[in-house]
Amino acid sequence: MKKTVFLAIAAGLILLSCRSWGSSLLSGDDTIKLKKVHRIIYFNPEVFPNYEGIREPTNKAFFNTVTNELRQYGDYKILRVDTPIAYDSVDVQSIKDYCQFNNAEVAVVPKVKYFKVGIGKYVFSNQVIISMKLYNSNGELVMENSFDTYKGKGRLLGSAENSVNIGTSNVIRNLVAALKSRNKMTAQQ
C-alpha cells in the first residue's frame, strides 16, 4: 500500500515537472501595475533568420493563433501593427506612442526563431522558439516569456507553421497564467 502511494505521488510530480519543459519565464517585474486590459497591440514578429520567403507564412500563422488563443480568455480588441520592432533593442517611446494613439493598455513584441539544419542555404527545421515581451502603456517591461517547441513537445515531425501555432499558443497560455498568479499574489498583500 505504501509503495503504491509513493509511486502515485512520484508519477504526479514527474507529470507536473514535464508541463513546463519548453517554457521559460525570462523576467518579470512584480511591482509594475497593469490596468484592466481591453486592447492589445501586437507587432509583427521579428523573424530569424531574416529570409523573405518565411516572413509572410510566419506572420499569418502567428496572428491566426493569437486571435484564436485570446478569444478563449475574453473579448479583447487585438490591434495588429505591421511594423516589426527589434526584439532585443525595443524602442520604448514608440511603444508608448502606439499605446497612446490606439488607446491600448498593453503591447506585445514577439520574436520567432527558426533553426537551420542541413547543408542547403535555406533548409529549416520545425524547431521554433517563440518569444514575447509584454509592455504596459507606459513602456515598462511587465513580463517576458518564450517557448521552445522541440523541448516542450519534442517535435521532430510536422510543419513549421504548426510549430509556430503550438509555440505561440503555449507562450500566450504561460503569460496569462503568470499574470493571473501575479494578480493573486498582489491581491493577498
Q: Which three cell numbers stand for residue 33?
A: 501595475
- How far apart are alpha carbons 157 and 94 in whole angstroms? 39
- How far apart are alpha carbons 4 and 8 in whole angstroms? 6
CB 40 within 8 A of CB 156: no
Q: Which domains does the chain have, with CATH numbers?
A: 21-184 (3.40.50)
Global confidence as pTM: 0.76
pLDDT for 21:
46
pLDDT for 125:
66
Q: What is the pLDDT along the chain (189 residues), one digit of tens a residue?
A: 666 654 555 445 444 444 444 455 555 555 566 667 788 898 988 888 777 778 888 888 888 888 888 888 888 888 888 887 888 888 889 999 998 998 888 899 999 888 766 555 655 666 788 899 988 888 888 888 888 887 765 555 667 778 888 888 888 888 888 887 776 655 555
pLDDT for 15:
41
Maximum Cα interatomic distance, the chain, rounded to a whole number of Å: 64
Q: Reduce the DSSP state of residue 63 to 3 states and report it.
A: helix
pLDDT for 16:
42
Total count of residues recorded for the chain: 189
pLDDT for 176:
84
